[in-house]
Chain A
Amino acid sequence: MRRILSLWLPTFATDRVRRGLVPPLAADTPLLTRMADKGRLTVAAVNAAARAKRLVPGMGLADARALEPQVHVVDADPDGDRAALERLADWARRYTPWTAVDPSDPPGFGPKGIGGGPGLLLDITGCAHLQGGEHQLLLDLEGRLAKAGFEGRAAIADTIGAAWALARFGALLVAPPGGAVEALADLPLPALRLGPDLVASLRRVGLRRVGELMRQGTGGKSRAALAARYGAQVSLRLDQALGWVEEPLSPRRPPARHTARLTVVDPISTPEGLAQAVRHLLGRVAASLTAAGEGARSLELEAWRIDAGHDAPPQVLGVGASRPNRDPAHLWRLLEPRMDKLEPGPGFEVMAVSVTHAAPFDGGQAVLAGDGLGELAGPPLGGGLSGGNPVLADPPVAELVDRLGARLGQGRVLRLLPRQSWIPERAVRAVPAEAQDNAPQSTSPMAAPPAPAAPFLGNGAWPADRPRPIRLLPRPEAVEVVAPIPDDPPLLFRWRDQTYRVGRAEGPERLMPEWWEGGERRPDPNPEPRDYYRVEDGEGRRFWLYRLGLYHAGGPPPRWFLHGFFG
């Protein structure tokens, strides 16, 4: 049986305004927000004190001022209200992962009528015992909101419709499971989320209470007559409230399939306590992953501070694993280096670990500690999910890559792979070490001896017959040279105020610009050919110089650059 909590925030907009005012406004000061409506200023929302002075949303601002000259007027901010409501829905995830902003907004109902004002819906099925029962949860929620300056009314029932009605119109706050009929019978018709026009027409035929409508609608014949007379809306809302028609609740954020949360009485603030709590949660998530035959590719730790306001989002730590993993010890090693990013302050009272991305687990069989190297022994045969990436073939190495990536950032742990280009700076492709490699490669090149000389770029290696430096300057640096024209190597070059006399040289190796790179939007910045020379100075130091461009009669002389150092 589902249990839904509906939270009604009747004066959300004005409560928000009042919280933001400095100095704070007394609670009994009339307050309203105004908006422009069809060329005149009207009242958008009022607080309880203003409502008591007979100010209602929808009336002209001038009328409102005439009724109550002392009223405090602020501009309405619908977008800000909406954003704040969504933050509130995120905050409410401390009670359950399944929270949403109440979408109920029947036409013509809006903020003007009775029961106007936004609300939240929480699916608390199976969550209430964490707070000590449904009554405790209600009290806790309302108490926290009141402390934050929000008036809120919440009710719990089996269906969205029943909870919605009880929150706004009911005296009873928690309808027992299956007790929706009794709980709703005495409520007025607007409690069924019907528009004012429908309510008025039902009232004309003498129906005032939900119970009367229920009696009308129970028999098959009269039920059909009810729908025919007043439209499908009436019977639909009634069926939804009573649970005869399922009404879906779309969570604001999709809840993770594998999640564990921990609510503690004494807030946790010490590093040891946090570590213990997180490891406990990881163990529970791992058990859930094991049952599903899956491993976590990424997971999130969320922590709510005891003193966090309603719109303070939980503190979040996210980590990723290179291959699906469900070893709590490894997941903890990923989280551990980042735990110091949490700011417990006076302490966390709710913590949750959820798997944001799960994938089928192929890590092999867990074995009895044979070599003591980890839970898993031996790389999966055939590469498995590690694709062509030989680094990930070995679970301990993959976990090491995860640890390095978790602390340093995934973009800092790289594999440098060949790329089909003759231009030196383009010949290397840096991919994160944790990424799957789809390039055709033998499955285990690490065990194999060095590949035979590859004359072409095609088979995934740099050409062996082209000597390449071991240190390549990120940007080639201009040098002054003395070189015979047209294409002899330099005799002398000057780099960073030092002159080097060339003893031997080899070259040129001409690299033509690759016009197919870049395209029209990103034209090649160097459309001229480069002639590379290997030169050695008198002390055996080897440099890689190139001449950009060719000698033309009458044209500017080509420029020379230093690009790298040989070993």
Chain B
Amino acid sequence: MPAIPPPISEARPTACPEEGRPGAPLDRRHLLAVLREQVRAVEAPGMGRGVVPLGVAAVDAHLPAAGPGESGVRGLPRAALHEVAAVGALDAGAATAFTALLAARLAEQVRGPILWMTRAPDLYAPGLDAQGVGPGRLVVVHAACEVDLLWAMEEALRCARVGAVVGEAGDLDLTASRRLHLAAEAGGVPGLLLRLGAAKGAKRGVKNAGLKNMGLKSTDLKSTLASAAVTRWQVSTAPIQDDGSAPSAFTGPAWRVELLRCRGGRPGAWTLCERGGYEREGLRLEAAGDVALPALETPPPTSAVLPFTPALRVAG
């Protein structure tokens, strides 16, 4: 009989065959699935509260799965801290838009305002409105210093009636981000760290030009890496591939989105296009082009948890 690895938690999975029974048929696939679930529970505690699919199947396949009750649904955990970084200073717009999109998506099914903590004077509400963060629920907190910003973020994350909290934080050490993550878990409120400073070692170093003058802070690679955020995204703009249909037409933006780290999920990189943005029929994100993904064992039902707008499409 092959040795069965001891379960990680004290509570045995019910499906695990008992060791004392010789000759019992060993359902290896099922056992592995149960063990994976246990590992995931250890890796990402508090994720059972619910996940929010982004609506792009290729991306959602990489995100952590929901709790055992809603198996098959994958998405961003709600009660957790996420991090979105711009690759270069000029990607600030793309990163801001992507963050606003995530915030709107995470807060879609709940009431409550979206609080946006910032120290920069250039946040523009009509642009946020186009990404789904409308003026009816946006509350902007202009913090005078980093300490105030982090304090305000933590306070807001602990208030369960808040829809989502976005913080444009600068350098953040592990302790601070862990604290924010714990607050997000306690309050059940999604937190989004938006880092507009250019990460060192990013591919397009040229983009850092003009960074200082924009009042943005550069974050160094070390501090960028140490973070308690559950997912880390890196966003930059991508040139739109001309498909020949409408040359030089101004379509929705294209973003190069990298999922650098994801607890309970897998990293990945995609080019996402926003089709028909600026027309408030709902957001249409789609993966374009060069993503090679392994086939999914169970294709996620796109509307199992959240009834999303029918405009969501899955491509690639």
Which A residues contact B (CB, under 8 angstroms)?
A: 373, 390-391, 394, 396-397, 399-401, 403-404, 407-408, 412-418, 424, 427-428, 430, 433, 441, 444-447, 450-453, 461-462, 464-465, 467-474, 495-498, 503-506, 534, 536, 538-542, 564-567
Contact = CB atoms under 8 A, between A and B. Distances in A.
B139 A467 contact: no
B155 A404 contact: yes
A441 B135 CA distance: 11
Interface of B: 90-94, 96-98, 100, 111-113, 121-132, 134-144, 148, 151-152, 155-156, 159-163, 204, 209-210, 213, 237-240, 248-250, 253-254, 278-282
B122 A567 contact: no
A413 B141 contact: yes
Given A415-B135, A503-B239, A540-B254, A471 B93 contact: yes
A343 to B, nearest CB: 21
With a 10 A CB-CB cut-off, give which of B122, B127, B138, B162 has the most chain A CB atoms.
B127
A446 B90 contact: no
Given A452-B280, A540-B253, A417 B126 contact: no
6 contacts: A394-B112, A401-B139, A462-B125, A474-B122, A564-B122, A567-B98
B141 A412 contact: yes
Contact of A464 (B125, B161, B280): B280
A474 B239 CA distance: 27
Nearest to B94: A567
Nearest to B122: A471
Contacts of B160: 373, 396
Given A534-B250, A541-B237, A433 B161 contact: no
B239 A539 contact: yes
Given A414-B139, A468-B126, A468-B130, A567 B96 contact: yes
B140 A414 contact: yes
Nearest to B206: A498
B155 A542 contact: no
Contacts of A403: 155
A414 B128 CA distance: 15
A471 B127 contact: yes
B253 A428 contact: no
With a 10 A CB-CB cut-off, give which of A373, A427, A468, A540 has the most chain B CB atoms.
A540
B159 A464 contact: no
Contacts of B155: 400, 403-404
A497 B127 contact: no
A445 B148 contact: no
A403 to B, nearest CB: 6
B247 to A, nearest CB: 9
Contact of B140 (A416, A470, A496, A542): A416
Contacts of B126: 418, 424, 427-428, 462, 468
A453 B280 contact: yes
Nearest to B159: A400
B129 A567 contact: no
A471 B123 contact: yes
Contacts of A542: 93, 237, 253
Contacts of A417: 135
B136 A472 contact: no
B209 A497 contact: yes
Contact of B248 (A414, A504, A534): A504
A214 B97 CA distance: 87
A25 B224 CA distance: 68
A391 B113 contact: yes
B137 A390 contact: yes
Given A416-B135, A452-B280, A397 B204 contact: no
Contact of A470 (B131, B143, B144, B280): B131
Contact of B127 (A397, A401, A470, A496): A470
Given A408-B148, A541-B90, A472 B209 contact: no
B161 A461 contact: no
Contacts of B111: 394, 444, 446-447
Contacts of A407: 148, 151-152
B209 A498 contact: yes
